[in-house]
Protein backbone atom coordinates (compact mmCIF):
# COMPACT_ATOMS: atom_id res chain seq x y z
CA UNK A 1 0.00 0.00 0.00
CA UNK A 2 1.27 3.46 -0.93
CA UNK A 3 1.61 6.05 1.82
CA UNK A 4 0.32 9.60 1.40
CA UNK A 5 3.91 10.81 1.20
CA UNK A 6 4.72 8.34 -1.58
CA UNK A 7 1.59 9.40 -3.48
CA UNK A 8 2.52 13.07 -3.10
CA UNK A 9 6.11 12.46 -4.22
CA UNK A 10 4.86 10.49 -7.24
CA UNK A 11 2.45 13.29 -8.21
CA UNK A 12 5.17 15.94 -7.91
CA UNK A 13 7.58 13.80 -9.93
CA UNK A 14 4.98 13.21 -12.66
CA UNK A 15 4.11 16.91 -12.88
CA UNK A 16 7.75 17.90 -13.31
CA UNK A 17 8.33 15.26 -16.00
CA UNK A 18 5.38 16.25 -18.20
CA UNK A 19 6.68 19.69 -19.23
CA UNK A 20 10.07 18.17 -20.05
CA UNK A 21 8.41 15.57 -22.27
CA UNK A 22 6.34 18.26 -23.99
CA UNK A 23 9.45 20.40 -24.43
CA UNK A 24 11.32 17.40 -25.85
CA UNK A 25 8.45 16.71 -28.30
CA UNK A 26 8.50 20.38 -29.35
CA UNK A 27 12.27 20.25 -29.87
CA UNK A 28 11.93 17.13 -32.04
CA UNK A 29 9.13 18.73 -34.07
CA UNK A 30 11.18 21.87 -34.63
CA UNK A 31 14.18 19.77 -35.60
CA UNK A 32 12.10 17.94 -38.22
CA UNK A 33 10.79 21.25 -39.60
CA UNK A 34 14.36 22.57 -39.80
CA UNK A 35 15.59 19.44 -41.61
CA UNK A 36 12.70 19.65 -44.09
CA UNK A 37 13.39 23.33 -44.74
CA UNK A 38 17.08 22.64 -45.31
CA UNK A 39 16.23 19.83 -47.72
CA UNK A 40 14.34 22.26 -49.94
CA UNK A 41 17.02 23.82 -52.00
CA UNK A 42 16.62 27.26 -53.45
CA UNK A 43 15.83 27.20 -57.12
CA UNK A 44 15.91 29.99 -59.64
CA UNK A 45 14.00 30.39 -62.86
CA UNK A 46 16.25 29.92 -65.86
CA UNK A 47 18.52 27.27 -64.37
CA UNK A 48 18.98 23.65 -65.39
CA UNK A 49 18.28 21.18 -62.59
CA UNK A 50 18.31 17.40 -62.22
CA UNK A 51 15.08 15.68 -61.37
CA UNK A 52 13.53 12.25 -61.02
CA UNK A 53 10.49 11.17 -63.00
CA UNK A 54 7.78 10.36 -60.44
CA UNK A 55 4.67 10.00 -62.60
CA UNK A 56 3.73 9.82 -66.27
CA UNK A 57 0.27 11.13 -67.12
CA UNK A 58 -1.60 11.40 -70.44
CA UNK A 59 -0.23 14.86 -71.25
CA UNK A 60 2.44 15.53 -68.62
CA UNK A 61 5.46 14.02 -66.95
CA UNK A 62 5.81 14.91 -63.25
CA UNK A 63 9.36 15.40 -62.04
CA UNK A 64 10.69 15.76 -58.49
CA UNK A 65 13.52 18.31 -58.45
CA UNK A 66 13.84 18.38 -54.66
CA UNK A 67 11.63 21.41 -54.18
CA UNK A 68 8.35 21.68 -52.26
CA UNK A 69 6.23 20.59 -55.22
CA UNK A 70 6.81 18.56 -58.35
CA UNK A 71 7.42 20.02 -61.75
CA UNK A 72 5.46 19.35 -64.92
CA UNK A 73 6.87 18.82 -68.40
CA UNK A 74 4.64 18.33 -71.44
CA UNK A 75 4.79 14.66 -72.40
CA UNK A 76 5.61 15.54 -76.03
CA UNK A 77 9.08 16.58 -74.81
CA UNK A 78 9.68 12.94 -73.84
CA UNK A 79 8.30 11.33 -76.99
CA UNK A 80 10.31 9.89 -79.86
CA UNK A 81 9.15 10.72 -83.42
CA UNK A 82 7.31 7.38 -83.33
CA UNK A 83 5.29 8.58 -80.32
CA UNK A 84 7.04 6.23 -77.91
CA UNK A 85 7.65 7.71 -74.44
CA UNK A 86 11.42 7.80 -73.84
CA UNK A 87 11.42 7.95 -70.00
CA UNK A 88 10.07 5.83 -67.19
CA UNK A 89 9.31 6.43 -63.52
CA UNK A 90 12.60 6.60 -61.60
CA UNK A 91 14.68 8.02 -64.47
CA UNK A 92 16.88 11.04 -63.73
CA UNK A 93 16.60 13.87 -66.25
CA UNK A 94 17.92 17.40 -66.75
CA UNK A 95 15.19 20.04 -67.01
CA UNK A 96 15.07 23.81 -67.44
CA UNK A 97 13.13 25.69 -64.76
CA UNK A 98 10.76 28.02 -66.60
CA UNK A 99 8.50 29.10 -63.74
CA UNK A 100 8.47 28.34 -60.01
CA UNK A 101 4.71 27.83 -59.85
CA UNK A 102 1.80 27.74 -62.26
CA UNK A 103 -1.94 28.08 -61.55
CA UNK A 104 -2.04 24.44 -60.38
CA UNK A 105 0.88 24.92 -57.96
CA UNK A 106 3.30 22.92 -60.12
CA UNK A 107 6.76 24.01 -61.17
CA UNK A 108 6.91 24.58 -64.93
CA UNK A 109 9.84 22.69 -66.46
CA UNK A 110 11.14 22.06 -69.97
CA UNK A 111 13.36 19.25 -71.13
CA UNK A 112 13.76 20.75 -74.61
CA UNK A 113 15.07 24.05 -73.22
CA UNK A 114 17.49 22.17 -70.97
CA UNK A 115 18.84 20.28 -73.99
CA UNK A 116 19.17 23.47 -76.07
CA UNK A 117 20.83 25.37 -73.21
CA UNK A 118 23.35 22.57 -72.65
CA UNK A 119 24.32 22.71 -76.33
CA UNK A 120 25.11 26.44 -76.04
CA UNK A 121 27.21 26.03 -72.89
| Contacts of residue 64, Cβ cutoff 8 Å, sequence gap at least 6 | 51, 52, 54, 70, 71
**Considering only the top CATH level, what class is 48-120?**
mainly beta
Whether residue 89 contacts residue 55, with contact meaning beta carbons closer than 8 Å, is answered with yes
Q: How do the domains of the chain map onto residue ranges?
A: 1-39, 48-120
Q: Quick one: average pLDDT of 55-72?
A: 92
Whether pTM > 0.85 for this model: the answer is no
CA–CA separation, 48 and 94 (whole Å): 6
* Tens-place pLDDT, residues 78-119: 999 999 999 999 999 999 999 888 888 888 999 999 988 877
Whether residue 107 contacts residue 64, with contact meaning beta carbons closer than 8 Å, is answered with no
CA–CA separation, 12 and 7 (whole Å): 9
| Least trusted range by pLDDT, from 29-38, 43-52, 109-118 | 29-38
The residue ranking higher by pLDDT, 54 or 23, is 54
Kindly report the average pLDDT of the chain as a whole number: 80
Amino acid sequence: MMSETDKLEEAVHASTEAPEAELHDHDESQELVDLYTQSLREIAEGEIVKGTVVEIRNDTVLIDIGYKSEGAVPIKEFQAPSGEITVKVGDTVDVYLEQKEDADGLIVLSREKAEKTKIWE
